[in-house]
Amino acid sequence: MNKLSQLVGIIAIAILSSVMFSSCDESFIYDYEGDCSVNYRIQFSYDMNMKYANAFAHEVPSVSLYIFDEEGILVSQVHDSGEALASDDYSIEVELTPQETYRLLAWCGIGDEESFDLPNVEEGKTTIEEMKCRMNRAYVGERAIVNDDLHHLFHGMKTLTVTTEPGTHYETINLTKDTNVVRVVLQHLSGEDVNPDEFTFEIQDYNGFLAHDNTLLEDELITYQPWSVTGGSAYINADVYGVPMREATTVNVALAELTVNRLCVERRPILVVKRAEDNELVLSIPLIDYALLVKGNYNHSMGDQEYLDRQDEYNLTFFLDRSGDWVSSVIIINSWKIVFNSGVIE
């Protein structure tokens, strides 16, 4: 073979090799680990809030990601927590097979399962329908009681069909925050101090059990009690919404803080305040109905459930008369004044 023939052969081999390593055809990408590999990284976003801003790095302390095949059988799982989640570019690398379809389920923020429990899982056996999240509760007699500041609980789902296109692909799971803090403030219209020890506070709901898709399952009645009851100071004017008071001064108010699980429009949680001495009812209101009174001031086009999912703090201020009874014509909800006797929301 002369030199010209050898040169032609070398060039032909080089061209053939170049084509093989650049084409990344379907039969080749499964074995080659270089440029033709298909990689996936899962990111998380928590912008289902009233600011529409991604607060994942600031609010979510832990991630549990479960990956199911198209039939809903668990194939793998990834758990992570700590400082890494605070990075703005945080993501989890997952192994997925090209052309396969997966269902991704995230339960985040559960921590050490002090507040919530997930089932024990087994890859190849556990189904996505079995991934129910149950809120832990204590019992006083037959009453189910929750009086802790629950760990923040987040839920997210995504269906993903894996591409054959080489490279690293990023997919985002959008999270919904399920837990909510409710703050109840009692203040005397007369300006007299309110002793927090003179009242009991509770919220009653059937919302302690969540399905894999974050819908509420049938559950027993849960009685939420405060994890904090304190006195606070508030500056008041001499006239509050047209009701004469004593001279402007700083008075003490009663403040109760409770954390509840997901609020859903199809349920009817009740907020109840009673006098501790004789168990006499001070007020009893449907929490969701009152919370939605101010929804229209934020975004009238927003659905009721979306509003409840975006809002995770509810601050309610009730005014008491000289007899310690609730003045039901006035209430403040998240800084919005509700005046019922005139039908005005300000």
Q: For residue range 240-265, what is the model confidence (pLDDT) as tens digits? A: 555 555 555 677 899 999 999 999 99
Can you read off the two tokens belonging to residue 54?
A: 């991604």
pLDDT at 344 over 90: no
pLDDT (0 to 100) of residue 20: 42
The predicted model gives 187-191 an average pLDDT of 84
What is the pLDDT confidence band of residue 5, given thresholds at 50, 70 and 90?
A: low
pLDDT at 23 over 80: no
How many other β-carbons are positioned within 10 Å of the β-carbon of residue 193? 14
Q: Which of 192, 185, 271 is nearest to 229 (CA)?
A: 185
pLDDT (0 to 100) of residue 322: 83
Distance CA 31, CA 26 (A): 10
- Assigned CATH topology for domain 180-345: Immunoglobulin-like (2.60.40)
pLDDT top residue among 294 and 285: 285
The predicted model gives 5-9 an average pLDDT of 49
Answer positive or negative: Cα dihedral of 6, 11, 16, 21: positive
Residues of the chain with CATH 2.60.40.2100: 38-134+152-177
pLDDT at 222 over 70: yes
pLDDT at 14 over 70: no
Q: Which residue has the tokens 């985040």?
A: 108
Q: Which residues pair with 315 in a beta bridge?
A: 183
Across the chain, mean pLDDT equals 87
Phi, psi of 59 (to 5 degrees): -115, -25
pLDDT (0 to 100) of residue 36: 82
pLDDT at 306 over 60: yes
CB 261 within 8 A of CB 179: yes
pLDDT top residue among 246 and 317: 317
Q: Which of 314, 334, 210, 185 is nearest to 261 (CA)?
A: 210
Q: Which residue has the tokens 């994942």?
A: 56
Residues of the chain with CATH 2.60.40.2090: 180-345
The strand pair at 180-188 and 167-174 is best described as unpaired
pLDDT at 286 over 80: yes
- Assigned CATH topology for domain 38-134+152-177: Immunoglobulin-like (2.60.40)
pLDDT at 65 over 50: yes
pLDDT at 48 over 80: yes
What is the pLDDT confidence band of residue 215, given thresholds at 50, 70 and 90?
A: very high
pLDDT (0 to 100) of residue 31: 45
